[in-house]
Structure 1
Amino acid sequence: MGKRYTLDVCGEVCPMPVIKTKAMLDKMGPGEVLEVIVDYAPSKENVKRLAQSQGCKVKIEEGEKIKIIIEK
């Protein structure tokens, strides 16, 4: 498994979480993992859609905050 990154965008609303996630994914290589932490439900769907559109694997962990685990 490659490097892991964390991006905390709690308190931010779209489109910022998506823009920041895309910027991180563009810098990452295959096999690397990005964990995006959101607290705004529409951001979960938008970030998930972005990652899937780029061919990434996506796993969602729901809790007090939502973790979107993206494997490039």
Structure 2
Amino acid sequence: MGKYNVSKSLDVRGEVCPVPDVETKRALKSMKPGEILEVWIDYPMSKERIPETVKSMGHEVLEIEEVGPSEWKIYIKVNG
């Protein structure tokens, strides 16, 4: 079990912009307030773009965790 109670996991490794961004938005829209989305990415640009998008949607980035060389997990809390 990780540090967060993850409600949904999204793996967009191997994808380049705008796919990770679009898929993250789509996943967040189907989630309820308080739930946590875990997004796996390996495209460095997404590490900057996804948090910007998430904040503009009113949600909260809890952490960006480096899990390997050029591989990250972004934890996002869905706000109402």
**TM exceeding 0.5:** yes
Provide the residue aligned with 2:64 in structure 1.
60
Bigger share in helix: 1
Provide the residue aligned with 1:47 in structure 2.
50
Kindly provide the amino acid, as one letter, of the partner of residue 53 in structure 2: L
TM-score calculated relative to the size of structure 2? 0.83
Q: Kindly tell me: are residues 3 and 63 of structure 1, through their superposed partners in 2, closer, same or farther at Cα, counting changes over 3 Å?
A: closer
Structure 1 runs (4+) deviating above 3 angstroms are none
Larger radius of gyration: 2
1:31 and 2:37 matched? no
2:6/2:38 contact within 8 Å kept:
no
TM-score calculated relative to the size of structure 1? 0.91
Q: Secondary structure at the match of 2:67?
A: coil
Q: What count of residue pairs does the alignment treat as equivalent?
A: 72
Gaps of 5+ in 2: none
1:4 and 2:10 matched? no
Kindly provide the amino acid, as one letter, of the partner of residue 33 in structure 1: I
RMSD (Å), alpha carbons: 1.6
Describe the superposition over 1:20-68 as per-residue Cα deviations: whole angstroms up to 9, x where unpaired. Answer: 0000011111001100000011011111111111111101111312000
CA distance in 2, matches of 1:21, 1:3: 14
